[in-house]
């Protein structure tokens, strides 16, 4: 992971950072269009009225298998002492699985195929995430976080491209996703030659004792978990809430708002990431963005008309998107042991998968009884708790 001998530079090359961010965007392209658009369309086509049940079982099995596979392949790449071969293998296998899924119409076989696809996908994603910890110094982790904000936007854009392109009939959409993924991930594998860097040893400024770093890792894990609960809760129910306030609210307007938030988040994340690098204050933007998410959710809880609802969601969406992008890179500051970095990042990945397993069902149980306002107020308190956890570290 770190070549022996003298370290060539204290800063990673800009070319490698760009190629790496493109590869992470390729990872998002591999699953965002598939899970949000193409897989539901495929299931609806053969399952009819039973599609919701099939999709619910697929979502649960996929999240569990992703959780296990991310830890497993992160740990295996740690043991092997190299990341690139695992990324290549996962890229090939995940792309091949996408090509087979479109031919499966038996629910049990489809669930099995999705589990295998999740293992292949995380064979690529887990070592790819750990590779940043091996190659990007602390002085550039803010910039890296800003670049990582492109990933969800690229995933959403890919979904639009494969569904809107007139030449891509349904039979060619999954192959197109596989091709776009390969085009984005391959450059860093073929051309990415990272400079050797000295292993990171501080959170910022003076050296932190190991106990302090472990405590900070726990705080960052819990803070991300709390913010992701809100993200998971709103992912499936945003349109439902908008329609409750305005029954005529169109689908395309939701998509436009979502896209605008993602695009704006990229620019703001780049600026905040650069600021945190320049001022050596990596945690302040995270606390700020968690607080911003809490503010947006508070506005949403009190919204009685669609205009105020959109304002609240934009504030929440910007804060949450920037938080998640910057958090992904700043987490690497507290996971310093390269022999366990991939495994530890897999444990951090549970903050992404566990909320997706629990919160949609909790939302379905809570909203019919107490309404969306109570749900948003609860989520605002959780996001505020995340901000406080990180603000304590600043103090």
Q: What is the pLDDT of residue 7?
A: 40
Higher local confidence (pLDDT), 107 or 395: 107
pLDDT at 129 over 60: yes
Place of tokens 């087979």: 100
Tokens of 113: 């195929």
Q: What is the pLDDT of residue 203?
A: 44
Instruction: Determine contact, residues 323/306, Cβ cutoff 8 Å.
Output: no
pLDDT at 333 over 90: no
Instruction: Determine contact, residues 119/131, Cβ cutoff 8 Å.
Output: no
Residue from 11, 9, 393 nearest 203 by CA: 393
DSSP string, 271-313: HHHHHHHHHT-SSHHHHHHHHHHHHHHHHHHH--SHHHHHHHH
- The DSSP code for 50 is G
Helix (H/G/I), strand (E/B), else coil: 195: coil
The confidence band for 206, taking pLDDT boundaries of 50, 70 and 90, is very low
pLDDT at 211 over 80: no
The per-residue b/e assignment along 186-216, b for 16 or more CB within 10 angstroms, e otherwise, is bbbbeebebebbeebeebbeeebeeeebeeb
Q: How many CB atoms within 10 Å of residue 56?
A: 12
Instruction: Determine contact, residues 126/77, Cβ cutoff 8 Å.
Output: yes
pLDDT at 239 over 80: no
Instruction: Determine contact, residues 218/331, Cβ cutoff 8 Å.
Output: no
Place of tokens 């369309």: 41
Portion of the chain with pLDDT greater than 90, in percent: 61
Q: What is the pLDDT of residue 90?
A: 98
Higher local confidence (pLDDT), 331 or 3: 331
Interatomic CA distance for residues 283 and 264, integer angstroms: 21
Q: What is the pLDDT of residue 161?
A: 87
Q: How far is CA 6 from the centre of its chain?
A: 35
Interatomic CA distance for residues 266 and 322, integer angstroms: 7
DSSP string, 140-160: GHHHHHHHHTHHHHHHHHHHH
State mean pLDDT over 131-150: 93
Q: What is the pLDDT of residue 236?
A: 64
Q: Tell me the average pLDDT of the chain.
A: 88
Q: Each residue of 5-54: pLDDT tens digit?
A: 344 447 899 999 999 999 999 999 999 989 888 898 888 888 887 887 88
How far are the Cα atoms of 75, 171, 191, 197, 200 from residue 136, in angstroms, in the given order? 20, 40, 16, 8, 9
Q: How far is CA 391 from the centre of its chain?
A: 23
pLDDT at 1 over 70: no
Name 54's Cβ contacts closer than 8 Å, sequence gap at least 6. Answer: 43, 47, 107, 110, 111
The confidence band for 4, taking pLDDT boundaries of 50, 70 and 90, is very low
Interatomic CA distance for residues 9 and 86, integer angstroms: 26
Place of tokens 């890792």: 217
pLDDT at 227 over 70: yes
pLDDT at 343 over 70: yes
Q: Each residue of 149-203: pLDDT tens digit?
A: 999 989 988 988 888 877 788 888 999 999 999 999 999 999 998 987 765 544 4
Higher local confidence (pLDDT), 136 or 208: 136
DSSP string, 45-112: HHHGGGHHHHHHHHHHHHHHHHHHHHHHHHHHHHHHT-SHHHHHHHHHHHHHHHHHHTT---HHHHHH
Q: How far is CA 134 from the centre of its chain?
A: 20
Sign of CA pseudo-dihedral 216, 70, 277, 150:
negative
- The DSSP code for 194 is P
State the virtual CA torsion across 252, 254, 255, 261 in degrees, nearest 10.
150
Portion of the chain with pLDDT greater than 70, in percent: 93
Q: What is the pLDDT of residue 209?
A: 54
Q: What is the pLDDT of residue 338?
A: 81
State mean pLDDT over 49-69: 88
The confidence band for 210, taking pLDDT boundaries of 50, 70 and 90, is low
State mean pLDDT over 111-115: 96
Q: What is the pLDDT of residue 159?
A: 86
Residue from 367, 356, 82 nearest 240 by CA: 367
């Amino acid at each position: 992971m770190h070549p022996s001998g003298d370290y060539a530079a204290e800063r990673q090359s800009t070319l490698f950072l760009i190629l790496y961010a493109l590869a992470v965007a390729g990872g998002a392209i591999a699953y965002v269009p598939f899970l949000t658009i193409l897989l539901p369309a495929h299931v609806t086509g053969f399952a009819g009225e039973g599609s919701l049940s099939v999709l619910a079982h697929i979502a649960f099995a996929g999240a569990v298998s992703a959780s296990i596979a991310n830890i497993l392949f992160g740990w295996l790449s740690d043991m092997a002492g190299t990341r690139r071969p695992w990324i290549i293998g996962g890229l090939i296998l995940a792309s091949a699985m996408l090509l087979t899924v479109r031919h499966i119409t038996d629910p049990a076989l489809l669930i099995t195929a999705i589990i295998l696809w999740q293992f292949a996908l995380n064979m690529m994603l887990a070592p790819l995430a750990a590779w940043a910890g091996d190659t990007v110094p602390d002085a550039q982790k803010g910039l890296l976080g800003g670049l990582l904000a492109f990933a969800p936007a690229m995933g959403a854009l890919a979904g639009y491209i494969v569904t809107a392109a007139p030449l891509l009939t349904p039979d060619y959409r999954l192959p197109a996703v596989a091709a776009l993924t390969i085009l984005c991930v391959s450059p860093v594998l073929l051309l990415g030659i990272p400079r050797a860097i000295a292993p990171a040893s501080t959170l910022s400024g003076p050296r932190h004792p190991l106990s302090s770093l472990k405590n900070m890792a726990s705080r960052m894990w819990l803070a991300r978990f709390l913010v992701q609960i809100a993200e998971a809760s709103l992912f499936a129910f945003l349109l439902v809430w908008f329609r409750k306030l305005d029954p005529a609210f169109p689908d395309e307007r939701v998509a436009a708002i979502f896209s605008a938030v993602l695009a704006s988040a990229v620019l703001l994340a780049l600026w905040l990431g650069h600021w945190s690098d320049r001022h050596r204050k990596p945690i302040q933007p995270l606390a700020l963005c968690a607080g911003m998410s809490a503010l947006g959710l508070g506005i949403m809880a009190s919204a009685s008309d669609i205009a105020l609802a959109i304002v609240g969601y934009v504030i929440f969406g910007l804060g949450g998107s920037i938080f998640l992008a910057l958090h992904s890179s700043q987490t690497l500051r507290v996971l310093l042991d390269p022999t366990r970095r991939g495994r530890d990042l897999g444990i951090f990945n549970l903050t992404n998968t566990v909320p997706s397993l629990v919160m949609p069902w909790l939302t379905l149980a809570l909203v019919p009884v107490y309404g969306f306002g109570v749900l948003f107020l609860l989520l605002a308190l959780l996001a505020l708790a995340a901000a406080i956890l990180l603000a304590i570290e600043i103090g």
